[in-house]
């Protein structure tokens, strides 16, 4: 009898344990209620209500996996949806926030402006300032009547956008009133560059120390009201550094514009690299509200003026107003965000700060004015998402300990990222990889003014990505870029397909750009087709460029000795050129650095200013304008690097399966297979987006 009772108690305990650890579902719907049970027939009303319900369930003893199911519809966010450490799960019991299968869930970080809020322009003075052809087309909305006011003034200089909000019409970003309506105008003449004297002991470039003055050739600036605020977005000096500067004054008699703040590098050409005219466009100008899709916000009176591109009836008009991340995970682990759409917000879409094994999957990020997904922590990542129409960058991965070379294992895999960097035209990439031991793979990236991938740090893997049509507005730019760090070593870039990169006048576009003495990286199995100056080693050492395929590039490989004139190791100079100081902070001559990078441990003993130890081997170049660009003094030091078994073909049939369709696999009877039999097979079928991950 005692055994029967014991067995009964044990069974009851097991049943209780199983029940406690059972999965729990909560449902959320736009028409739900904040205090509902969360059952399918009694949904909650918001993410916050669902999070709080999960907390309550946990407090009552629930320990199993949790899924929060969101029903189709829009979920406006007036503040961040935050998850903390207590809101996470475990490996066996994750917490998932996801859309019900087949339903569209839209998280919105903005305010709708109903069509009935718009009416004719009421102020006669405003109507007079508008172009004659636009006066009957422009409408206004009183945002204060919609509880939207207290808009911050723009600063005198910024890199992306002056401040919230931005306007969207039928899910398309509208253009703040600008001149010219498309493209740029050139500076006619620089009167005052604002540039200080160049001091090579401080840096390689002169810096802007006072506001600049320049002449313009056109008549339009004479019509602008500077007192209301006029800003100019320009490539003022270098074709890789855009900045928006406020106008302090316009002298219409002299046709001169005085800026309110100095550009970082001054205005006007500073070297033979950028001797062609500098360019800019003007924005935030009521008088230039003259084209469908343009808008202007009177920030003092909270009046929105808009030239709608189509009828406002039944149109969706939204202002991006949320100025904090839409969803923020703080030290949270084992949380998944799945099948959600993050839309129309001024700040980040998702921020994962700390924690481990969090995942963003199969989501959409669209019409965000800042970074779409910013991820730190350990073994977290983003997979299978589409990111587009972004004001700045797409994905930021930053994690790992460089001092101990401990990897973070963050990842961005199988994402489609396109039409980004709308507002910040430079240094806003599709993907940024920093720290130690992170991975970007199988991403498709295209249509952007500057770079696709930025990386820095150690032991990253950047592989199987497809990149095309980037660098649309810039020069001296890399589709994949890193630079100015001896210690950024151990990074593997393999099997990436870079093609049809745009090359602006000037220095042009690089495929993979190891800038300013970056060292210790490996480029292998990459395919460069019409990729400018494809594999670019800018003075670095101990890099490997091996088994790559170059087709119709301006230059297949570039090598130079810029370190002789620019690098100043141990001299304590500014501008990032004290390469020794950068690695001394990691005690590079002792483990783990000395064992992981033994050549770096000896850098100061082995001609530190020269590009020594590079290996360029087993590459195939087909119909490139130049196989190797090593001009000037570089020729003297080519023997410090190793060149072997490279096959250069000009005017010969390389034996591609189908060159016209960019099927660059080699036939078995190709000349490459005969002359370079050891050339590895490139896994073309695995490059770019994959249907199944």
Q: DSSP string of 172-221?
A: EEPEESEESSSS-EE-SEEEE--BPPP-TTT-SS--B-S--EEE--SSGG
Low-confidence ranges of the chain (pLDDT < 70): 1-21, 198, 200-201, 272, 693
pTM of the model: 0.95
**Rounded distance between C-alpha atoms, residue 603 and residue 405, angstroms:** 19
pLDDT at 200: 66
Cis ω for the linkage preceding 180 (within 30 of 0) = yes
Residues in the chain: 693
Whether 226 contacts 249, CB under 8 Å: yes
C-beta atoms surrounding 92 within 10 Å: 10
Joined tokens for residue 203:
């840096």
Q: What is the CA radius of gyration of the chain?
A: 28
Helix (H) or strand (E) holding 479: strand 477-483
pLDDT at 436: 99
Burial class (CB in 10 A: 0-12, 13-18, 19+), 669: exposed
Whether 540 contacts 513, CB under 8 Å: no
pLDDT at 201: 67
Whether 99 contacts 30, CB under 8 Å: no
State whether residue 52 is helix, strand or coil: helix
Joined tokens for residue 193:
């560059």
The alpha carbon of 286 is separated from its chain's Cα centroid by a whole number of angstroms, namely: 31
pLDDT at 105: 99
Query: Secondary structure of the chain: what % helix, strand, coil (to 5)?
Result: 15, 35, 50
Q: Cα–Cα–Cα angle for 513, 482, 452, nearest 5°?
A: 75
State whether residue 227 is helix, strand or coil: helix
Q: Cα–Cα–Cα angle for 647, 653, 656, nearest 5°?
A: 90
pLDDT at 16: 41
At a CB cut-off of 8 Å and minimum separation 6, what does 685 contact?
none
Joined tokens for residue 611:
């590009």
Q: What is the maximal distance between C-alpha atoms in the chain?
A: 109
pLDDT at 262: 96
Q: Cα–Cα–Cα angle for 580, 641, 575, nearest 5°?
A: 30
Helix (H) or strand (E) holding 417: strand 416-418
pLDDT at 83: 99
**Rounded distance between C-alpha atoms, residue 323 and residue 453, angstroms:** 26
Query: How confident is the model over 497-506, as pLDDT tens digits?
Result: 999 998 888 8
Phi, psi of 159 (to 5 degrees): -100, -20
State whether residue 106 is helix, strand or coil: strand
State whether residue 416 is helix, strand or coil: strand
pLDDT at 17: 41
pLDDT at 154: 95
pLDDT at 272: 63
Helix (H) or strand (E) holding 379: none
Q: DSSP assignment of 250-319, as one string?
A: EETTTTEEEESS--TT-SS--SGGG-SPPEEEEES-GGG--STTEEEEETTTTEEEE--SS--TT--EEE
């Amino acid at each position: 009898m005692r055994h029967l009772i014991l067995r009964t108690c044990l069974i009851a305990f097991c049943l209780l344990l199983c029940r406690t650890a059972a999965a729990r579902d909560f449902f959320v719907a736009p028409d739900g209620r904040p205090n509902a049970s969360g059952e399918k027939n009694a949904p909650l009303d918001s993410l916050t209500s669902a999070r709080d319900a999960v907390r309550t369930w946990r407090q009552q003893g629930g320990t199993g996996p949790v899924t929060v199911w969101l029903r189709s519809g829009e979920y406006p966010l007036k503040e961040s949806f935050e998850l903390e450490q207590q809101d996470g799960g475990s490996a066996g019991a994750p917490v998932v926030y996801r859309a019900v299968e087949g339903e569209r869930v839209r998280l919105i970080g903005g305010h709708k402006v109903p069509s009935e809020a718009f009416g004719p322009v009421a102020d006669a003075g405003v109507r007079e300032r508008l172009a004659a052809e636009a006066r009957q087309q422009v409408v206004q909305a009183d945002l204060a009547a919609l509880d939207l006011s207290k808009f911050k003034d723009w600063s005198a200089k910024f890199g992306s956008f002056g401040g919230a909000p931005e306007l969207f019409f039928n899910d398309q970003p509208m253009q703040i009133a600008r001149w010219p309506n498309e493209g740029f105008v050139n500076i006619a003449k620089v009167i005052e560059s604002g540039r200080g004297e160049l001091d090579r002991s401080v840096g390689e470039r002169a810096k802007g120390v006072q506001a600049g003055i320049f002449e313009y050739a056109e008549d339009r600036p004479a019509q602008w009201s500077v007192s209301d605020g006029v800003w100019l977005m320009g490539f003022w000096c270098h074709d890789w550094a855009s900045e928006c500067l406020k106008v302090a004054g316009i002298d219409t008699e002299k046709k001169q514009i005085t800026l309110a703040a100095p550009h970082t590098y001054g205005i006007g050409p500073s070297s033979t690299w950028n001797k062609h005219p500098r360019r800019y466009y003007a924005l935030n100008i009521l008088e230039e509200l003259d084209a469908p899709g343009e808008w202007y916000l009177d920030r003092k009176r909270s009046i929105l003026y808009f030239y709608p591109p189509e009828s406002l009836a039944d149109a969706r008009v939204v202002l991006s107003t949320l100025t904090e991340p839409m969803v923020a995970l703080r030290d949270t682990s084992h949380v998944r965000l799945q099948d959600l759409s993050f839309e129309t917000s001024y700040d980040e879409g998702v921020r994962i700060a700390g924690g481990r094994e969090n995942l963003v999957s199969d989501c959409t990020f669209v019409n965000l004015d800042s970074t779409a997904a910013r991820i730190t922590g350990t073994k977290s990542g983003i997979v299978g998402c589409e990111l587009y129409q972004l004001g700045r960058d797409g994905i930021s991965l930053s994690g790992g300990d460089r001092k101990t070379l401990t990897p973070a294992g963050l990842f961005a895999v199988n994402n489609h990222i396109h039409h980004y960097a709308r507002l910040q035209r430079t240094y806003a990439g599709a993907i940024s990889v920093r720290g130690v031991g992170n991975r970007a793979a199988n991403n498709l990236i295209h249509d952007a003014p500057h770079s696709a991938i930025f990386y820095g740090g150690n032991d990253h893997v950047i592989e199987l990505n497809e990149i095309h049509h980037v660098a649309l507005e810039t020069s001296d730019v890399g589709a994949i870029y890193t630079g100015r760090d001896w210690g950024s070593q151990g990074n593997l870039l393999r099997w990436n397909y870079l093609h049809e990169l745009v090359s602006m006048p000037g220095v042009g576009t690089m495929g993979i750009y190891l800038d300013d003495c970056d060292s210790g990286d490996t480029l292998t199995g990459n395919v460069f087709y019409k990729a400018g100056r494809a594999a670019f080693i800018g003075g670095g050492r101990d890099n490997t460029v091996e088994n790559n395929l170059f087709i119709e590039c301006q230059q297949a490989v570039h090598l130079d000795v810029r370190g002789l004139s620019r690098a100043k190791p141990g001299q304590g100079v500014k501008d990032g050129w004290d390469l020794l100081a950068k690695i001394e902070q990691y005690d590079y001559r002792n483990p783990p650095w000395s064992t992981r990078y033994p050549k770096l441990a000896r850098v100061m003993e082995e001609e530190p200013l020269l590009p020594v130890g590079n290996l360029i081997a087993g590459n195939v170049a087909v119909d490139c304008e130049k196989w190797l660009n090593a001009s000037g003094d570089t020729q003297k030091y080519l023997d410090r690097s190793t060149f072997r078994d490279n096959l250069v073909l000009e005017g010969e049939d390389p034996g591609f399966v189908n060159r016209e369709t960019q099927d660059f696999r080699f036939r078995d009877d190709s000349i490459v297979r005969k002359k370079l039999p050891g050339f590895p097979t490139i896994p073309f079928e695995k490059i770019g987006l994959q249907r199944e991950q």
